[in-house]
Amino acid sequence: MSPDSPNPSPTDAQPQTLGTRFRNLSITLVAITLSVAIFLGLRTDLTSTSLPELAETATPIEVALENGKPTLMEFYANWCTSCQAMAEDMAQLRQQYGDQVNFVMLNVDNSKWLPEVLEYRVDGIPHFVFLNRQATAIAQTIGEIPQQIMAANLDALIAGSPLPHAMITGKTSTFEIDAKPAQEQQVNPRSHSSQ
């Protein structure tokens, strides 16, 4: 072939083939890696604990106030990102301490719990109230609390000792309460904002 010939020589075609093969191999490896990551990410989401599931299996407040066990009462909302972030930790704590401590969940969006919201001055969620065996509030924490700190508080609650991490505040979602009777309200009684 002449140098002006449009057909490439076999030696010119080989580097293009190696370059093409390397590019295709790279694309394939990236696609496989992303597929595995997405698959594992979806599996993790499917096995995570949801707030409605935790609430459904929580101890009813009436039972908790009467059974003589210490209680961890959580005020939450399904829209609360901080509450959602703690759901898996709370499920693990419930599994570990559930036979010794009542785990009560009260949804702040349910007006049924307005008396408790007002009594415990809930203005950020998640809001945790620790009740001793006599159902008396002895401490509160607000916001995202690390699992180890919650576990230390539960250990102290069970032992009847002062809580080592009482009155701490982590990341919260805020809401406002309008305690006017329903006839006087012009809008929804709570204004929500999540972080």
Active-site positions read: 80, 83
Write the DSSP string, 112-144: GGHHHHHHTT--EESEEEEE-TTS-EEEEEES-
Q: Could you tell me which of 72, 67, 71 has the C-alpha nearest to residue 86?
A: 72
What is the rounded end-to-end Cα distance, in angstroms, of the chain?
Answer: 70
- The residues near 111 (Cβ < 8 Å, ≥ 6 apart) are 189
**Which residue's entry shows tokens 């809580």?**
163
Q: Are 173 and 194 in contact (CB under 8 A)?
A: yes
The whole-angstrom separation of Cα 112 and Cα 122 is 14
In a 10 Å sphere around its CB, with 0-12 CB exposed, 13-18 middle and 19+ buried, how is residue 153 labelled?
buried
Kindly give, in sequence order, each residue whose CB lies less than 8 Å from that of residue 152, ignoring residues fewer than 6 positions away.
163, 164, 165
